[in-house]
Chain A
Amino acid sequence: MLHLSKRVLAKTQLSALQNVRHQSQHGAARKSGGGGVAAAVIGGTVIGGFGGMLGYASWSDENRKTIDDNIPGMQYITDAVLGSKAPAAAGKPQPKMLVIPPPTIVQPVPPQVKPAPPQDKPEDQTQSPIMKKKIEREKKKEQEATENVKEKSEASITSPLPSTPEPASSSIKSDLASALAASMKEANSGVTAALDAAEKAAAVVQQQAMAIILSVDSGAIEDSVKASVSAAVIAAEEAFRQAQVKVTELATNIASSKSSGKSDASVIDVAEQSISELAPAVVKVKEVVNNAVNTMLNVELMCNALKEARIKLAAEVRDVLPTLTDIDAEKQIQLLLGHAYNRILNLQKQIADKQKVLDEIRSRGSLSDGPGNISEAVLQSELDKLRHQLQLQHRSDLGRQQEELEAEVRGQLKRQAAAHSEHLSDMLEKQEHEITAAWQLKLYDEINKEKDRHFRDVASIRAKLLGMQAAVTARADADRAAHAARSLWLACQALRNTIRLGKEGASSFDDQLQPLQSHLTAISVSAGSDEFVQTVIGSISKEAVERGVCTEEALRHRFDRVYAVARRVALVPENGGSLLRYLLSYLQSVLLIQASASAASDTELLDQPINVHDLNTFDILDKAKVCLASDDMLGCVRWLNQLTGESRRVAQDWKEEARRTLETRQAADALMAHAAATTATAL
């Protein structure tokens, strides 16, 4: 092909010049007139039509066959122009191509599936040849039109200048040659490009097909893959179309140059040779493209079959195991494989049957039997097929009906169970009520019994508690009383001590006097609201309370002086007397011998009544002294009370003091006795 292009390259300049000439002369050709133009148009159309037909025939064997069949006698022309049919096809060097063997899985696609797959690509495939043909026809018409125009122009150029000189005709020749060379070169390069594009498309298609086969698990062809493949295929087809156009152009150029007869025979030969070389190349490109498209179609068919098989498998699995829902990918693949295996077995069996039927037909055909047997065998196979289908459908129907029945039975059972459970719950509720009532009654009885017992217990406990409380209160009262009595006793003791001893550490008997107020207050406080104590305390003379009372010791001491003075004034009467009388009384007392102090008369000892008027002052004083000596203060006071006259006056103070002391002591003794009695009761 390279040498061809070199040859053509030499005449490039000529072709370019010719083109320029065509364009410049275009306006002039329009102006040329009438009958010449019509003849040129008719001639151009005929030549163009013929050339187009030839080009169409040379496009593919199919086209050629169509033309040969439709137009009588055309076979000879096509044989003459395009060469013999078979050798031309066989003689073409087949390009080295990687052809993908169509996958075996695609073939056993079920009959009902088969009409489905050709949807997107198959349409392309089915439509593309028609479209191509249409496009080719249109293009050819255009080409014819342009060529007609060209020829017209050429004719117009040539016709008005019939007497053009030789240099002019030689220049035209060179122009044509150069145009031929240029178109040859273009056709060459176009064919080369188309071949490249076709190879590329084939490679792309193969690659994508491999990828799809490898990734068959994913189930569907991705859109991007589809797009890339279709783009490659379209590019290849486009390149192929261009190449075809160029080749056709070349052929028309050759034809036009031939018809004009102005160009060199050598140049035309070269051009024809190149065309004969290019035509097989174009056919090869076509084959390559077709192969690629077929491969793509096969791959798609396979994918669709896979999808279909998967759907069918899912349906079957659902029939067999309605409960099985979520199957993980691995199991799904395994199931799919199993399903495919079964299907293949089934189909192989069918194929074997068909084979057998075919063998039978062949054998019968050889025996020239009637067509009845053949139809019987076919019928048998068809029946088998139908039986299988019906079996499948029956199985699926059976499964579905079973499922429905099961659902119904389950619903019935559920309803029955619900009714039963309702009845049970009713009965249970009733029983619960009865039992609850019975137990409630029992519980109330028990509670009442317990309550009574508890109340009894509580009552006894309360009584005990009250008794204890009373006892404790009594005990506390007694304790309090004992405490009070003790404190009272102590206070009384203190009072008595004070009465008996007076103020301790006093220098004289007068200083010994101590007020009893504090002691009496203590007694009254400790006695509380004791009426007796209060009365006794109230009975004590004011003098004794405020000043205090003389002690016995002091009284004894003072009695001696009282005794002496009373003796001295024994003779003096109550209202005094003269000095002489005092003198005589003194003398009497001095001269009188004192009798024994302890001497007591018999009457006194016998405790008989005494005539006090018989006793004189000295007797009384003596008796009083005796009484005092025998610690009988009361008796002493009693005797002194019998005194008369001045002696009585003398003894008056002592007597009062002694009486006060005595009554205070008596009160203290009474308090003491009361305190002792209280203490005794408290204890």
Chain B
Amino acid sequence: MAKTKSEDILGEKWDRCVSDTIVKMGGGLGVGVLFSVLFFKRRSWPIVFGLGSGFGMGYANCQHLFDQPYLVRPERITVTAKSVTESVEGAKEKQ
């Protein structure tokens, strides 16, 4: 898979957001329907609540995707032994 072009990155992000939101909303719908049928005597609000929750989750994820995506977070940096040795060797060579 070729590297994604810079102009296509945003589009992909949008695709992911939408699909994620839909999945989440579907899940919320399903949970709401189940709750409405089982516990709340076929009331509509559990369904709406489920949908809302799903949408909200999706939105939050999207927001997370688009806002400050290029900041490198410390918990995402994984240090491996190989890289350490490489960096050490590189430092030695530079010296």
A→B interface (CB under 8 Å): 510, 558, 561-562, 565-566, 568-569, 574-579, 582, 646, 649-654
Verify A654–B7 contact, CB threshold 8 A: yes
**A646 CA to B13 CA, complexed, in Å:** 14
Q: In the complex, what residue of chain B is closest to A577 when comparing beta carbons?
A: B67
Given A579-B59, A579-B62, A651 and B67 contact (CB-CB distance below 8 Å): no
13 A-B residue pairs with Cβ-Cβ distance under 8 Å, sorted by A, are A558-B7, A565-B11, A568-B10, A576-B69, A578-B67, A582-B66, A646-B10, A650-B6, A650-B9, A651-B6, A651-B7, A653-B5, A654-B6
12 additional contacts (CB under 8 A) given A575-B71, A576-B67, A649-B6? A562-B7, A566-B7, A569-B10, A576-B68, A576-B70, A577-B66, A577-B67, A579-B63, A649-B9, A650-B7, A650-B10, A653-B6
**Interface: B2 (CB within 8 A):** yes
- Chain B residues with Cβ below 8 Å from A649 are 6, 9, 70
**B:36-94 near A, CB below 8 Å:** 59, 62-63, 66-71
Residues of B within 8 A of A566 (CB): 7
List, in ascending order, chain B residues with CB within 8 A of A651's CB.
Answer: 6-7
Scoring B5, B11, B68, B70 by chain A CB atoms within 10 A of each residue's CB, the highest score goes to B5
Please give, as numbers and ranges, the residues of chain B lying within 8 Å of A561 by CB-CB distance.
Answer: 7
Q: How far is the CA of A292 from the CA of B85 in the complex (A)?
A: 168
Residues of B within 8 A of A652 (CB): 6
Q: Could you tell me which B residues sit within 8 Å of A by CB distance?
A: 2, 5-11, 59, 62-63, 66-71
Please report the C-alpha to C-alpha distance between residue A649 and residue B66 in the assembled complex, in whole angstroms: 13
Within the assembled complex, what's the spacing in Å between the Cα atoms of A651 and B66?
17
CA of A456 to CA of B2, assembled, Å: 80
Closest chain B residue, CB of each to CB of A649? B6
Residues of A within 8 Å of B62, CB to CB, are 579
List chain B residues, Cβ under 8 A from A574: 70
Most buried by B among A565, A566, A651, A652: A565
Q: Is the CB of A578 within 8 A of B63?
A: yes
CB neighbours of A575 from chain B (8 A): 68-71
Q: Decide: A578 and B66 in contact? CB cutoff 8 A.
A: yes
Please list the 3 inter-chain residue pairs (A to B) with the smallest Cβ-Cβ separation, ordered nearest first: A653-B6, A565-B7, A652-B6
Set of chain A residues within 8 Å of B8, measured between Cβ atoms: 565
Would B59 and A510 count as touching, CB distance under 8 A? no
Complex interface: chain B residues within 8 A of A578 (CB) = 63, 66-67
What residues on B are CB-neighbors of A562 within 8 Å?
A: 7
A566 to B66, CA, bound (A): 15
Give the residue name and chain of the B residue nearest to A650 (CB).
B7
* Bound: A646/B68 CA distance, A: 11
Q: Are A576 and B6 in contact, CB atoms less than 8 angstroms apart?
A: no
Q: In whole angstroms, how far apart are the Cα atoms of A230 and B70 in the complex?
A: 176
Q: How far is the CB of B82 from chain A (nearest CB, A)?
A: 23
B21 to chain A, nearest CB (A): 11
Residue of B nearest to A648 (CB): B6
**Which residues of B are found within 8 Å of A650, using beta-carbon distances?**
6-7, 9-10
- Across the interface, do A565 and B10 meet the contact criterion of CB distance under 8 Å? yes
In whole angstroms, what is the CA distance A579 to B11 when docked?
13
CA distance A562 to B63 in the complex (A): 23
B9, B63, B66, most chain A CB atoms within 10 A: B66
Complex contacts, A565 vs chain B, CB 8 Å:
7-8, 10-11
Q: Which among B11, B59, B62, B63 has the highest number of chain A CB atoms within 10 Å? A: B63
How far is it, in angstroms, between the C-alpha of A646 and the C-alpha of B9 when the chains are bound?
11
Q: Which residue of B lies closest to A563 (CB)?
A: B7
For residue B63, which residues in chain A have a CB less than 8 angstroms away from its CB? Answer: 578-579
Note all chain A residues with C-beta closer than 8 A to B7: 558, 561-562, 565-566, 650-651, 653-654
Task: Please tell me which one of the listed residues A558, A568, A579, A654 contacts residue B66 in the complex, with CB atoms under 8 A apart.
Answer: A579
Alpha-carbon distance between A577 and B70 when the two chains are bound, in angstroms: 11
Q: Is the CB of B66 within 8 A of A576?
A: yes
Which residues of the partner chain A approach B5 to less than 8 Å between Cβ atoms? 558, 653-654
Nearest A residue to B59, CB-CB: A579
A649 CA / B10 CA spacing, docked (Å): 10
| B contact residues around A558 at 8 Å (CB) | 5, 7
A579 CA / B61 CA spacing, docked (Å): 11
Report the Cα distance A11→B63, complex, angstroms. 216
**A579 proximity list for chain B (CB < 8 A):** 59, 62-63, 66
- Known contacts: A575-B68, A579-B59, A579-B62. The answer to whether A510 contacts B2 by CB under 8 A is yes
Q: When chains A and B are docked, how far (Å) is the Cα of A574 from the Cα of B69?
A: 10
Nearest CB in chain B: distance from A671 CB, A: 30
Q: How far is the CB of B70 from chain A (nearest CB, A)?
A: 6
> A568–B14 Cα gap in the complex (Å)?
13
Cα–Cα distance between A524 and B49 once the two chains are bound (Å):
71
When chains A and B are docked, how far (Å) is the Cα of A582 from the Cα of B65? 12
A510 / chain B contacts, CB cutoff of 8 Å? 2
